[in-house]
Amino acid sequence: MPATFIIALAQIDPTVGDIAGNVALIRAARAEAAKAKADLVVFPELSVVGYPPEDLVYRPAFLDAAEAAVNDLAKDTADGGPALIVGAPWRGEGKDLGKTFNAGIVLDGGAISAIRFKHHLPNYGVFDEARIFDSGPAPGPVVVRGLRIGLMVCEDMWFEDIAETLVESGAEILIVPNGSPFDVEKPDVRLNHAVARVTETLLPLIYVNQVCGQDDLVFDGASFVLNADRALAVQMPSWRSALTLTAWTRAGDDTLVCQKQELAAPLSKMESVYQALMLGLGDYVRKNKFPGVVLGLSGGIDSALSAAIAVDALGPDKVHCVMMPSPYTSQESLNDAAAVAKYLGVRLDTISIGPAMSAYDAMLKDLFAGSNADITEENLQSRARGMALMALSNKFGKMVLSTGNKSEMSTGYATLYGDMCGGYAVLKDVYKTTVFALSKWRNAHKPVGALGPAGPVMPENVITKPPTAELKPNQKDQDTLPPYDALDAILHGLIEDAAGVAAVAARGFDLATVKRVYKMLKTAEYKRRQAPPGVKITHLAFGRDYRYPITNGFQDDGAAK
């Protein structure tokens, strides 16, 4: 290898299935790295096709297109510029005929110079790789211009056996292309695994992650380099595409050493979560080619925060807010909705649902005769609002943004075909207590890259007033639900911790309350199955992570911890 070996880390935002677009991103990054005389450019896992490709891998035409793209990229490297490490699904040959692998591929000198297959296939949480890919053998090093690289694709870094095999077979450096989805605990978990591999092998390690939103997943980038002494030499930024050049030289003992750079500043938990919600929504709208979003702005905190995130992600011109008052809507709510719209600079229209309520009353009068008004009439209000938003979406093309949070999704405190209707639910994995925290944070900070205002995004009154659906006189959320501090702690125990009713009650909660929350959680599963996708920020989000049967006879009665 040359005296100084320049490796570029390309933290890009690919789109699943857009092979031509992804190849364009790869070529642009390579061209930029070539100007700096880079020897090698490393891209994230499955960068040619986007991650996760899911059942596209079953389609021969998709695999053909991926293979053709890789071969075209290989031809580019005949120009004497940087070599590439890219990722793509790859069909086996010979004894592996009929198998498909998740491959890390080295391109250099106008050809494919080496291919290594992912060995450990994650099959938990959001991952189904064991379903679509075959496990490759434990890999040996690849040689790129005299440098012996141990190539470990994503999950292979989480186990010690692959790194051990690579160091024993002569690797000088570990390179880990990743498609690692974000959750609030993930950055520390990744770094801990990387440190463990460096400690075991005494080799430096490069970790390259993508940065993008893909349906309900979001990827934060935050790529990094550890030297052999476990010191952090490079920390790339979170939540934005970037290309970073790293310079490697040999120490006196022949160990490879990366020249230390100024590290990207760490983000607070609230900023990381807010950035995740921005990127998830923004990429979903842009990549699915919606012209913008439309949402109901009620004067409450959930819709105010949803609108703020949408404006920050897309710009105020792409966010259409609608206030849909009923006879039970307070003047306070009308004022707060108008203030939020003014803060954010968005269009706000008003559509009264009074005529729809009267029409439903007339339609159902004979069948409802002799019965008292109850939750049925409340849900009709929510559904009238949902119909109005869907009509606007159908007429003008903007996607309906659902504004419900994880506390509501957990307990069923949401109406099917009403406030649950929409194409995307930006707060789907955000507990109500976190909604409050995010709203306070955003009023005091403008996130990097945000397209919204620098100042507050909602009046303080929206944050401090008692939450209410305003579907009947003097209604408050706490009429039906426990206080949110207690509710969210109970839900976290039941969902993220998978703790039993008795075990959660033992944390200091009333047993009867925990039983009631557990019953609501279990009963609402059929609603969650019909909910729109939303950004995953916790380690156990509804949807891919949480797969409980709707028809479920098991009842946790709290008898045992």
Task: Say which of 118, 318, 406, 515 is annotated catalytic.
Answer: 118
Helix (H, G, I), strand (E, B) or coil at 175: strand
Instruction: Please say whether the beta carbons of 41 and 145 come within 8 A.
Output: no
Instruction: Please say whether the beta carbons of 191 and 224 come within 8 A.
Output: yes
Instruction: Please say whether the beta carbons of 336 and 306 come within 8 A.
Output: no
| Active site (annotated) includes residue 212 | no
**Beta pairing, strands 256-258 & 40-42:** unpaired
Which residue in this structure is represented by tokens 């706490």? 478
Cα–Cα distance, 534 to 429 (Å, whole number): 7
Q: Which residues contact 518 (CB under 8 A, 6 or more apart)?
A: 494, 501, 556
Task: Say which of 32, 129, 154, 332 is annotated catalytic.
Answer: 154
Q: Is the peptide bond before 473 cis (omega within 30 degrees of 0)?
A: no
Q: How many CA atoms lie within 13 A of 425 on its CB side?
A: 28
Instruction: Annotate 127-164 with b (16+ C-beta within 10 A) or e (fewer).
Output: bbbeebbbebebbbbbebeebbbbbbbbbbbbeeebbe
CB atoms within 10 A of CB 42: 30
Task: Say which of 45, 155, 271, 408 is annotated catalytic.
Answer: 45
Q: How many CA atoms lie within 13 A of 521 on its CB side?
A: 27
Q: In what order do the strands lie in the sheet with 40-42?
A: 111-117, 100-108, 83-91, 40-42, 5-11, 242-250, 256-258
Q: How many CA atoms lie within 13 A of 48 on its CB side?
A: 27
- In single-letter form, the type of residue at position 432 comes to K
Cα–Cα distance, 59 to 46 (Å, whole number): 16
Backbone angles phi, psi at 55, to 5 degrees: -75, 0
Q: Cα angle at 558 between 556 and 560, to 5 degrees? A: 100
* Cα-based distances in Å from 530 to 216, 409, 417, 527, 550: 14, 11, 9, 5, 11
Instruction: Please say whether the beta carbons of 397 and 290 come within 8 A.
Output: yes
Instruction: Please say whether the beta carbons of 23 and 43 come within 8 A.
Output: no
**Beta pairing, strands 173-178 & 205-209:** parallel
**Residues counted in the chain:** 561
Catalytic residue IDs: 45, 118, 154
